[in-house]
A = this chain, B = another copy of it.
């Protein structure tokens, strides 16, 4: 199978996920401003998930950019990633409808975590296929951003049990970390991390 087919199919699935998520914004029975106010949390959850799918779409392209040969395992690792992303509409809609409940926010974090793990597995497979001098490997370096994200998702899913809004804030911060291409913020974060390591 050519790389183009894999890209086109993934793009199709991502385009559908990002769009059907809006179906969770159910048209209210009422016609007043109160009806809209009741939907604020659902709307914010939709915005957050839209940004996450956008980030995955963006990163997915860079990931496949250096790929030359689509093997069976890469094909299935890609479908595995799409599977977890396909759960975004469900997890997002449930958290949006129950912003102050623990379990929906935990679930959202777990879907984010599983998606980031699936992404990591796909990345590993592509690097292995490309061999020692993989361009992708050089580009991502130690992939600190990816690892920080995973740790933040785990921490947030745990914190959601106690304070859902803290978890929700963390989900938003991780999204901003990927969205804003501010090198200084990233460098600061990484330096602090490295200093922490050297202190230990």
Contact = CB atoms under 8 A, between A and B. Distances in A.
A94 interface: yes
Contacts of A79: 50, 54
Given A9-B15, A57-B9, A90 B33 contact: no
B36 A101 contact: no
Interface in A86-123: 86-87, 89-90, 93-94, 97-98, 101, 103-104, 107
A33 B160 CA distance: 13
Contact of A90 (B22, B32, B89, B101): B22
Given A20-B19, A86-B50, A103-B36, A9 B11 contact: yes
Interface residues of A, number: 53
B18 A15 contact: no
A13 B18 contact: yes
Interface string A161-180: 00000000000000000010
Contacts of A8: 8, 11
B13 A13 contact: no
A58 interface: yes
23 contacts: A1-B61, A5-B11, A9-B15, A12-B12, A12-B15, A12-B16, A13-B19, A16-B20, A18-B82, A18-B86, A19-B86, A22-B86, A22-B89, A23-B23, A23-B89, A27-B90, A27-B93, A31-B94, A31-B98, A31-B103, A36-B107, A47-B83, A54-B76
Interface of A: 1, 5, 7-9, 11-20, 22-25, 27-28, 31-33, 35-36, 47, 50, 54, 57-58, 61-62, 72, 75-76, 79, 82-83, 86-87, 89-90, 93-94, 97-98, 101, 103-104, 107, 179, 181
